[in-house]
Amino acid sequence: MSLPPRPLHLAVALDAPSRPGADHDAADHDAAHFVALARLAERGTLDFITLGDSFARPGLDALAVLARVAPTTQHLGLVPTVTTTHTEPFHVSTAVATLDWVSRGRAGWTVGVSTTEADAALFGRRSAAPPAEVWREAGEVADVAARLWDSWEDDAEIRDRATGRFIDRDKLHHVDFTGGSFTVRGPSIVPRPPQGRPVIVVEVTGTAADAAAPADRVLHEVAAAHADVALVRAEDPQTAGAARAELRERARAHGRDPGSLVVLASLPVELDSSADAVGLADLIRDWHADGAADGFHLRPADPARGVGLLVDGTVPVLRHRGLLRRGYAGATLREHLGLPRPANRYALAREAS
Amino acid sequence: MSPARPGPEARGRKQIHLAAHFPGVNNTTVWADPRSESQIAFSSFEHLARTAERGLFDFFFLAEGLRLREHKGRVHDLDVVGRPESVTLLNALAAVTDRLGLAATVNATFNEPYELARRLASLDHLSGGRAAWNVVTTSDAFTGENFRRGGYLDRADRYTRAAEFVATARELWDSWTDGGRPRPVDHHGEHFTVRGEFTVPRSPQGHPVVIQAGDSPEGREFAASAADVIFTRHSGPEAGRAFFADVKGRLAAYGRRPADLKIMPGVTFVLGDTAAEAQEQAAEIRRRQVSPQNALLAAEQIWGVDLSSYDPDGPLPDIDPDPGSELAQGRVRIADPKAVADSWRALSRAKGLSLRETVIETTGRQSFIGTPEAVAAEMDAHVQTGAADGFILVPHLTPGGLDAFVDRVVPLLQERGVHRTEYSGTTLRAHLGLPEPAPRAGERNRNVH
């Protein structure tokens, strides 16, 4: 199989290791810990870092942590998980848009859901719902968030002193979204973010064809319809490659350019020594050569140790082999990923009419 | 401070608490000024926050609005429009400041206690104990159209929900044991049911500082029972003293001391080299804030009818207001538009003012106008005579609107011994001289101030 046309993309998860019985580590609540890891990742010219989140997960709000990290980095993409089940879609949209503003165009968002009764009990508003149902809703939240990001056209702010108008209100739009469980009127309170739309990330497992659970099929549909980046948890390059092909085919069925969906293999990695770091570089080379993915999302068992070994051990080997860039060419996460800045749907509709 | 100089306490003067309001969405921000920069770029927020920290302010304050205001069914286009989401922005500002308190306005009507308590505790951790939450409520279904819960709550329910919201957040913030483990929370109230473990350990301030804005009897009572700071509109000396005495008088019923609640009016300022120059500048700022278009708009808010055929430089409309009008959405409702219209007409006749001049005269008066010496003296007098504990300054310009105050007034307040010359603590509670909430055994020595 020939190499995919785009360069190798590399991302790393900063999620704290799961430590049964001892889940609360002071470092998980310390800004300096995350700032140090993010700067390290930036030195390794990684495309982005992810930080997982759920209401039951010990630790700080992931989007808050990456907003705190934003001014301490220049190029690195920042991708927190934000859940959609017990939250307000309007708030999710404005928080992610704000992360894009404070990072000057480096925000992404991993769409998350809550499926447990334990999470539901923290809110007391609704019972836990089957995964397929909450993922359908998550797809709607991703959809309305993107509409809200578009609800201001890029040139809506005019500051026209002659007429006294700060904005051209013809360039602000009600989204009037009706989903299965919520409605949103719009427009957003936040102007369109620097990337137009922050990068939407959806994490899937294997291929939908193999998946018995209806939730997995919904999840693949959500990724194909709304994601800019899909993270595929697969144990071998064949499964990852098949998932990539399938997701792109589904994206095409949604009227999208299949090339606009970046598919990364998401791998747990145990890095304890320099030898492990070089071993990882070999594995990445092999999977990449097999066309398994457009790149990799690495999940070190212990980020505090693993990110350092990745950046100082794996990255130099990949660069030496010509697989990984030596510096950032662009300024935004979309630019790192080779994704165009999306045209504004309302501006397009206006121009078409 | 040099050891020879008497400390503020020695001189027996009450310290002035200072905060800065980001000049956000409204017509008080003079956006047409050539020095006006982006309202949304991070650099603007960074400049204002760093300036406030340079001035050793207590905190930086962000307002919130969850729906863009509309007029005649369309988004209002004369004011500054568009702002970031507060808590996210403040987390980023925590990276570029060290001591400054970071206050987010977050609505208690369209949020849920568990999620918001977690976001605020996260901000408190990530800023090293500098988080504050300005609790507001919303009554209109217009804003509710952006949210799952939709609809709205009537006035009394808004405050009972807000009070239960704050109490529930505090239950969550208090739920960790001395041993550093979460204790399950089991809250069953009128508005909220929250069961489970809070996954964020106790934050550096224990509880982020709670601010309340609002002036109704329900609002004052809520502030007296639950708030650390009250953000008021009463900036004049007489109204300020009456408000101050009323609110401080309500604290004892809740077992609180007068010093436990800081009263901070939102104020504007205009500085000049001479009193006359300051007055002239203040008048110029008012002319810019109340453009001919804005004057008509302000009148339409009262009359509730389309006044676009009227001349802003001519007389006031002689027709009566429409009390049931829904012309303006997302603004504060005027209870008795006819009474306001009558008072405007009386003023216009008495002083021979045009519509625009009447609007300038009746709305948005500047609080402190004068030389830096005069402004410092007047602010000091307000605080020493029990009209306020300090001020939340609302500049006219983004992002440079606070520069002159910090450069010219702050040193004079320091000379008067009423403003700190360095931060003595690291947390916002320390700056405000507020007690630590119910410290847990074994942690009493944290953040001593």
Model confidence pLDDT, tens digit, residues A256-289: 999 999 999 999 999 999 999 999 999 999 999 8
Name the DSSP class of A312: I
Assess B83–A contact: CB distance below 8 Å, yes or no: yes
With an 8 Å Cβ cutoff, is B26 touching chain A? no
Looking at chain A, the whole-number percentage of residues with pLDDT higher than 90 is: 85
Strand-pair partners of A80: A51
Same domain, B372 and B407: yes
Best residue in B69, B86, B88 for a mutation probing chain A (most A CBs within 10 Å)? B88
**What pLDDT score was predicted for residue B74?**
85
In this structure, the answer to whether residues B373 and B352 fall within a common structural domain is no
| One domain for residues B310 and B426 | no
| Residues B81 and B21 grouped into a single domain | yes
Total domains in the fold of chain B: 2
- Looking at the structure, tell me whether residues B323 and B373 fall in a common domain: no
Does the residue B1 lie in any domain? no
Residues B115 and A83: their CA atoms lie apart, in Å, by 11
Task: Report yes or no: B123 at the A interface, CB cutoff 8 Å.
Answer: yes
Q: Say whether A97 and B148 touch across the interface (CB within 8 A).
A: no
| B447 assigned to some structural domain | no
Q: Does A104 touch chain B (CB under 8 A)?
A: yes
- Which residue did the predictor score with more confidence, A217 or A211? A217
**Residue of B91, B198, B288, B293 best to disrupt the A interface, most CBs of A under 10 A:** B91
State the CB neighbour count (10 A cutoff) for residue A75: 21
Mutate to test the interface with B, among A15, A33, A53, A68 (most CBs of B within 10 A): A68
Q: Which residue of A has its CA nearest to B126?
A: A31
Q: Which range (A48-62, A89-103, B318-332) has the least confidence?
A: B318-332
Contact across the interface for A64 and B81, Cβ inside 8 Å: no
Query: CB A88 to CB B147 under 8 A?
Result: yes
Does A90 lie at the interface with B, CB-CB under 8 angstroms?
yes
- If asked whether residues B45 and B161 sit together in one domain, one would say yes
Is A94–B85 a contact, with Cβ atoms under 8 angstroms apart?
yes
Regarding whether B224 and B102 lie in a shared domain, the answer is yes
Q: How far apart are CA A319 and CA A325, in angstroms?
A: 6
d(C-alpha B150, C-alpha B141), whole Å: 7
Q: Which chain A residues are closer than 8 Å to B145 by Cβ?
A: 183-185
Boundaries of domain holding B311 = 291-362
Distance in angstroms (rounded) separating the CA atoms of residues B341 and A141:
45
Residue A19 has pLDDT above 90, yes or no: no
Q: Is residue B231 part of a domain?
A: yes
The two structure tokens encoding residue A145:
């968030």
Tell whether B133 is covered by a domain.
yes
Chain B's closest residue to A85, CA to CA, is: B148
Using a CB-CB cut-off of 8 Å, the residues of chain A touching B199 are 55-59
Rounded-to-integer distance, Cα A328 and Cα A338, Å:
12
pLDDT at A189 over 60: yes
State whether B84 and A157 contact (CB < 8 Å): no
The 3-class SS string of chain B reads: CCCCCCCCCCCCCCCCEEEEECCCCCCCCCCCCCCCCCCCCHHHHHHHHHHHHHCCCCEEEECCCCCCCEECCEECCCCCCCCCCHHHHHHHHCCCCCCCEEEEEEECCCCCHHHHHHHHHHHHHHCCCCEEEEEECCCCHHHHCCCCCCCCCCHHHHHHHHHHHHHHHHHHHCCECCCCCECCEEEECCCCEEEECCCCCCECCECCEEEEECCCHHHHHHHHHHCCEEEECCCCHHHHHHHHHHHHHCCHHHCCCHHHCEEEEEECEEECCCHHHHHHHHHHHHHHHCCHHHHHHHHHHHHCCCCCCCCCCCCCCCCCCCCCCCCEECCCCCCCHHHHHHHHHHHHHHHCCCHHHHHHHHCCCCCEEECHHHHHHHHHHHHHCCCCCEEEECCCCCCCCCHHHHHHHHHHHHHCCCCCCCCCCCCHHHHHCCCCCCCCCCCCCCCCC
Which pLDDT score, from 0 to 100, does residue A6 have?
57
Choose, out of A34, A85, A101, A184, the residue to mutate when testing the contact with B (most B CBs < 10 Å): A101
Residue B110 lies in a domain: yes
* Residue of B31, B33, B81 to mutate, interface with A, max A Cβ within 10 Å: B81
* Res. A97: pLDDT tops 90: yes
CB of B46 within 8 A of CB of B96? yes
Q: Residue B59 contacts by C-beta under 8 Å, 6 or more apart in sequence?
A: B19, B20, B52, B100, B101, B102, B103, B130, B132, B209, B428, B431
pLDDT tens-place string over residues A298-315 = 999 999 999 999 999 999
Residue that has been written with the tokens 């800065």 in this structure: B20
To the nearest whole angstrom, how far is the Cα of B316 from the nearest Cα of chain A?
21
pLDDT at A26 over 70: no
Q: Looking at chain A, how many residues does it have?
A: 353
Instruction: Tell whether B438 is covered by a domain.
Output: no
Q: What is the pLDDT of residue A54?
A: 94
B151 close to A (CB below 8 A): no
- Note the pLDDT of residue B333: 66
Do B309 and B164 share a structural domain?
no
Res A261: pLDDT? 97
According to DSSP, the β-strands at A9-13 and A262-269 are unpaired
pLDDT at B1: 39
Give A229's DSSP letter. Answer: E
Is the CB of B75 less than 8 angstroms away from the CB of A169? yes
B200 and A60 in contact by Cβ < 8 A? yes
Between chain A and chain B, the number of residue pairs with CB atoms below 8 A apart is: 180
The answer to whether residue B39 sits within a structural domain is: yes
Amino acid at B29: T
Q: Which of A268, A276, A109 is nearest to A195 (CA)?
A: A109
Phi, psi angles (nearest 5°) of residue B32: -80, -10
What's chain A's average pLDDT? 93
Domain end point (choices B320, B337, B362):
B362
The answer to whether the CB of B147 falls within 8 A of the CB of B110 is: yes
* pTM of structure: 0.94
Query: What pLDDT was estimated at residue B53?
Result: 98
Indicate yes or no: CB of B95 within 8 angstroms of CB of A68: yes
- Hey, is the C-beta of B79 within 8 angstroms of any chain A C-beta? yes
Interchain proximity B66–A87, CB inside 8 Å? no
Report A:137-166 residues touching B (Cβ under 8 A). 152, 157, 159, 161, 163-166
Q: List A residues 192-231 in contact with B (Cβ-Cβ < 8 A).
A: none
Chain B: give the shortest CA distance to residue A205, in Å: 27
CB atoms A65 and B74 under 8 Å: no
Which residues of B are less than 8 Å from A101 in CB distance? 40-42, 84, 89
pLDDT the model gives residue B322: 85
A21 touches chain B (CB under 8 A): no
Does B196 reach chain A within 8 Å, measured CB to CB?
yes
If asked whether residues B304 and B268 sit together in one domain, one would say no
Whether residue B254 is found in the same domain as residue B150: yes
Rounded to the nearest angstrom, the minimum Cα separation between B78 and chain A is: 5
Separation in Å, CA of B228 to nearest CA in chain A = 24
B 98-117 residues inside an 8 A Cβ radius of A: 110-112, 114-115
- Does the beta-carbon distance from B82 to A161 stay under 8 Å? no
**Which residues of chain A lie closer than 8 angstroms to B81, CB-CB?**
157, 166-167, 172
Tokens of A139: 């797809």
Flag whether B400 is in a domain.
yes
What CATH code is carried by the domain that includes residue B248?
A: 3.20.20.30
Task: Please report, in tens digits, the pLDDT of each residue of chain B (449 residues total).
Answer: 344 444 444 468 999 999 999 987 777 889 999 999 999 999 999 999 999 999 999 999 999 999 998 887 888 899 899 999 999 999 999 999 999 999 999 999 899 999 999 999 999 999 999 999 999 988 778 899 999 876 666 777 778 889 999 999 999 999 998 788 899 999 999 999 999 999 999 999 999 999 998 788 888 999 999 999 999 987 688 889 999 999 999 999 999 999 999 999 999 999 999 999 999 999 999 999 998 998 998 898 889 888 989 999 999 988 888 877 777 776 666 778 888 899 999 999 999 999 999 999 888 777 899 999 999 999 999 999 999 999 999 999 999 999 999 999 999 999 999 999 999 999 999 999 998 887 543 343 333 33
User: Whose CA is closest to B89, among A68, A155, A121?
Assistant: A68
- Residue B190 and residue B223 in one domain: yes
Q: What is the rounded radius of gyration, in angstroms, for the C-alpha atoms of chain A?
A: 20
**Hey, are the CB atoms on B78 and A165 less than 8 Å from each other?**
yes
B239, B181: one domain: yes
Q: Which of A18, A19, A29, A144 to mutate to test the interface with B (most CBs of B within 10 A)?
A: A29
Count other C-beta atoms under 10 Å from residue B407's C-beta: 14
